[in-house]
Amino acid sequence: MRVLLIIPRFQLPIETRTTPQLGIAYLAALSERNGDEVRVYDQDIEDVPLEDVVRQYQPEIVGITSNTPQVKQGWLAARQVKSVAPNTVVVQGGPHVSALPEEAAARPEIDIVARGEGEMTWLELCNTIAHARAGNSNLRISDILDPQNKILNSVRGITYQTPQGKIKHNGERPAIDSLEELPFPAYKYFKLERYTSLQPAVDTVERGKSFSMMTSRGCPYRCTFCSQSVMAEKWRGRSPESVAAEFAHLIHDWGAQEIGILDDSANIDRKRMRAMCEKLIAENLNTVPWILINGIRANLADTETLQLMKEAGCKRVAFGVETGDEEILESIDKRVTHDQIREAFRNAKQVKLETVGFFIIGLPGDTEETMNKTIEFACELDPVVANFSMMTPYPGTKVWEQVHRNGGRMLMKDWDDYVFFEGKARYELGTLTAELQERKWKEAYRRFYMRPQRVFKTLTRASTWKHLPRTLGMASKLILPKMTKDEIKPMLYQH
Ligand code: B12
Ligand code: SF4
């Protein structure tokens, strides 16, 4: 079967998303193992128009990934596919459509929505459709979607609109139990030389030499603002052997110079984390630096584990601190205390790991006073990088429900606006006005980065100058947006 996987444009400057998308790399690997012909089209880096690729390649099935700000670009890509290949089945997956499957399934350019973790659903869909069409090459998409023909009935984890106009949700797809069964992400389908680095771990990294990977999936926590609630709750860790084998593959086969670990909660099982680090050390794979892109659990960040991580090549850890206010911390279900967070930062600094702190401005219940506490807590913790995000209520999260239930006002006009790199408030709720959030967001950056002792320390620290490219790279990727959305928008809708 000819398979085409599409990564729609990101609503951000290209510099901010410069590694291959891991979900698509996994699907590509599965399709390859299945014996299918595979192509990946990443709209941010391609220069051939999508229609031309589709016309020439004639895919039989197209898979499109989408997070919320990408979803409209995903629909645009689907229309482009359908304009030249109307009988190609178009499947859309990813976090946004997992939260709101009906919305995408109702669109004429989308045939099937894949909810949640997608590998097995994708594989089954490809095989089911290939099988159905093998028996009848003229089978129309409406025949495939017609429940009377029982073609899709047994494929779990999908939502689609029947020709009779009904939205049909097939049963839930269980989370993959053993992640070891998955092949490694297939980077050979990406134009690697066009990618740089997600978040720099080293001073300079050659193009195509920065990779990301997942050593575990799932998160048993359900923080009220986090979109992971639409994904599997069950935490599953890969074995140290499997993680080391992927490190070896990235280093020896692809020449990886740095690795970003994307796990939602990498240290849930500390024993596994330590065993993984020991394995990396034993196999001499600790020569390539790695960083944790997402926050690890502060309540599980003891010195022994962090020390071992450092020895295994880890350079930087991040913690989701979110707020400096005790009550709000409790209300967002983070299930961690400020003292645990303090200790985690102390431990990380003690073993000389770089630290990143993620903070949210404008959580429900935030006031001038609580946001001051957040800024003060950030200053107290003093990570190398403090990232302040504007609270953005994503569909599928508890905050989204809270805002809608309690008469809040969403300030975003469409899905394109669901980004939080900009200093624009995304919603208002009670006394939490846009003006207040935007003022505090600016103040947070000013107060954190312009503290005289911080400026002095930064300017006099040899490493600031020694590692200038990385310092600037981190600043541009984690702290400052390169362009505003209005500057970017005209570039996005040029089709
Ligand atoms: C790395 C990352 C980034 C990187 C992207 C790098 C890259 N090369 O793609 C960067 C830092 C740039 C980034 C930016 C943003 N991100 Co981000 N990011 C992630 C992160 C940590 C990992 C993504 C990943 O690779 N996952 C691993 C793969 C295996 O999972 P996956 O992509 O979801 O794919 C699986 C399924 O979704 C499904 N699937 C996906 N696509 C398809 C397609 C088909 C056809 C099928 C069948 C199945 C399928 O199957 C896949 C395999 O199981 C996730 C959190 C997470 N755990 O996923 C957040 C996450 C995706 N990001 C999120 C957000 C909010 C953003 C931003 C909007 C934040 C912002 N600053 O404004 C921006 C997006 C801007 C934009 N315009 O799109 C949210 C998305 C919420 C939502 N409703 O969309 C997430 C879920 C984080 C969270 N917990 O809230 N992000
Ligand atoms: S913020 Fe982190 S701990 Fe909380 S639900 Fe999301 S991934 Fe899990």
Give the pLDDT confidence of 136-186 residue by residue, as tens digits. Answer: 888 999 999 999 999 999 999 999 999 999 999 999 999 999 999 999 999
Q: Among residues of the chain, what percentage have pLDDT more than 90?
A: 80
pLDDT (average), residues 194-209: 86
Q: Which residues pair with 292 in a beta bridge?
A: 261
Residue 483 CA to ligand 2 center (angstroms) comes to 28
pLDDT digits (tens, 9 = 90+) for 207-247: 899 999 999 999 999 999 999 877 888 999 999 999 999 99
Its pTM stands at: 0.95
The pLDDT of residue 238 is: 97
Residue 34 token pair: 């299945």
Q: Which of 216, 221, 293 should be mutated for ligand 2, with most atoms under 8 A from CB?
A: 221
Helix (H) or strand (E) holding 438: helix 434-449
CA nearest ligand 1 atom 13, residue: 17
What pLDDT, in 10s, does the model give residues 297-316?
Answer: 999 999 999 999 999 999 99
Residue type for position 430: G
pLDDT value of position 304 = 97
Q: Which residues 6+ apart lie within 8 Å of 62 measured at CB?
A: 3, 4, 5, 6, 54, 78, 81, 88, 89, 90, 91
Higher-pLDDT residue of 205, 477: 205
pLDDT in tens, 286-299: 999 999 999 999 99
Higher pLDDT, 482 or 367: 367
Residue 490 confidence (pLDDT): 46
Query: Residue 94: nearest ligand to its CA?
Result: 1
Is residue 222 within 8 A of residue 207, CB to CB? The reply is: no
Transcribe 265-298 into DSSP letters.
STTSSHHHHHHHHHHHHHTT-TTS-EEEEEEEPG
Predicted pLDDT of residue 478 = 63
Nearest protein Cα to ligand 2, atom 4: 223
Is the minimum distance from the CB of 262 to ligand 1 under 6 angstroms?
Answer: yes
Residues 102, 265: Cα–Cα separation, whole Å: 29
Q: What is the CATH number of domain 2-169?
A: 3.40.50.280
pLDDT at 15: 59
Per-residue confidence (pLDDT) for residue 495, from 0 to 100: 34
Closest ligand to the CA of 222: 2
62-76, 101-115, 198-212, 344-358: lowest mean pLDDT where? 198-212
**87, 60 Cβ separation under 8 angstroms:** no
CB 451 within 8 A of CB 379: yes
pLDDT > 50? residue 133: yes
What's the mean per-residue pLDDT of the chain? 92
Its CATH architecture, for the domain 192-493, is: Alpha-Beta Horseshoe (3.80)
- Show me where the domains of the chain are located: 2-169, 192-493
CA of 268 to the centre of ligand 1 (A): 20
